[in-house]
Structure 1
Amino acid sequence: MESNKKIILFDGICNLCNSSVQFAIKRDENDIFRYAALQSETGRRLLEERSIDTKKVDSIILIEPNIAYYTKSTAALEIGKNLKGLRTISSILLWLPESFRNIVYDFIAANRYKWYGKKEACMIPTEDLKRKFI
């Protein structure tokens, strides 16, 4: 695993989450991120190492190795700060209180399967994207 890359853990069966990962990959101009499904062996190991309970956080987690990890709205906005076209708005939204941001985030997360559907299995990356998945 590359120690200088930020890791995005995502719900591999969620259509919204998979679309968000594709969105991030297209805008990650500086190749900052690597990706793993929460359900994968790597995802489960990273969660366990950080004692993250997926009953409380089950949609997106950003890990900055040897620095910190972020969950919910903070994870989404920290990711956005590194993506072309989202840097400014993400930085501004981080000024809002986390408790307020997470009310909106939790509402969307709780309804994501109903609104966007889910897959029977995790996404399988194409050959040219495999290097971005751990």
Structure 2
Amino acid sequence: MPYSYRDDPNVPSFDDSAPLVIFDGLCVLCATGVQWMLARDPEGASKFAAIQQPLPRALYRHYNLDADRFDTFMVLSNGIPYTRWQGALAAARTMPQPWRLLGNLGRIVPNVIGDRIYDWVQRNRLQWFGTRDTCLMPDPKTAHRFLK
């Protein structure tokens, strides 16, 4: 059911008028991906929040995802959560062209294949790319795109 979190007293209210990308703020790959999205989306179609913050953690619990294990990022768009492969495609669809087109074309890849690729990268991301000592902090020009 779209926007079901609005009825959950454990999820703080927030501005959900734009897609929300929830990411691991300590993961170098994840933080770099957010910076990449920010650089290519000057219109600001998406908002961002690190899983280390209370709101994203509450949303993960609402959708029965483990915020401590963090085995998938989430894109919350129009009140619907997208995770794993579908999350990656949903993130691309929030971007300007040609990324939006790629997000739509990616739908031809069956979820079972896309999820396997996503899971493989997710399992190895910290080994391959490392971790940050501190959570990604936005610069003043993009701070308005991060939920607190």
Q: Does 1:124 align with 2:147?
A: no
Q: Give the 5 Å matches for 1:37-116.
A: 37-54=50-67, 57-65=70-78, 67-84=79-96, 85-116=98-129
Gaps of 5+ in 1: none
Q: CA RMSD in A?
A: 1.7
The answer to whether the Cα contact below 8 Å between 1:57 and 1:71 also exists between their aligned partners in 2 is no
**Amino-acid identity (%):** 24
Counterparts of 2:107 and 2:42 in 1: how far apart (Å)? Answer: 22
Tell me the residue number matched to 2:10. none
CA distance 1:55–1:73, shift in 2 (3 Å): farther
The answer for unaligned runs of 5 or more in structure 2 is 1-13
Retained in 1: the 8 A contact 2:23–2:50? yes
Which letter maps to 1:35? F
TM-score by length of 1: 0.89
Instruction: Check whether the contact 1:29–1:83 (CA below 8 A) recurs between aligned residues.
Output: no
CA distance in structure 2 between the partners assigned to 1:11 and 1:58 by the alignment: 10
Measured in 1, the distance between the counterparts of 2:68 and 2:119 equals: 13
Secondary structure of 1:122's counterpart equals coil
Superposition TM-score, scaled by structure 2 size: 0.81
Summarize deviations over 1:3-52 as a string: whole Å, max 9, x none: 31111000110000001001111222442211110111222122223332
- Counterpart in 1 of 2:8? none
Structure 1 moving runs of 4+ over 4 Å: none
How many correspondences in the alignment?
133
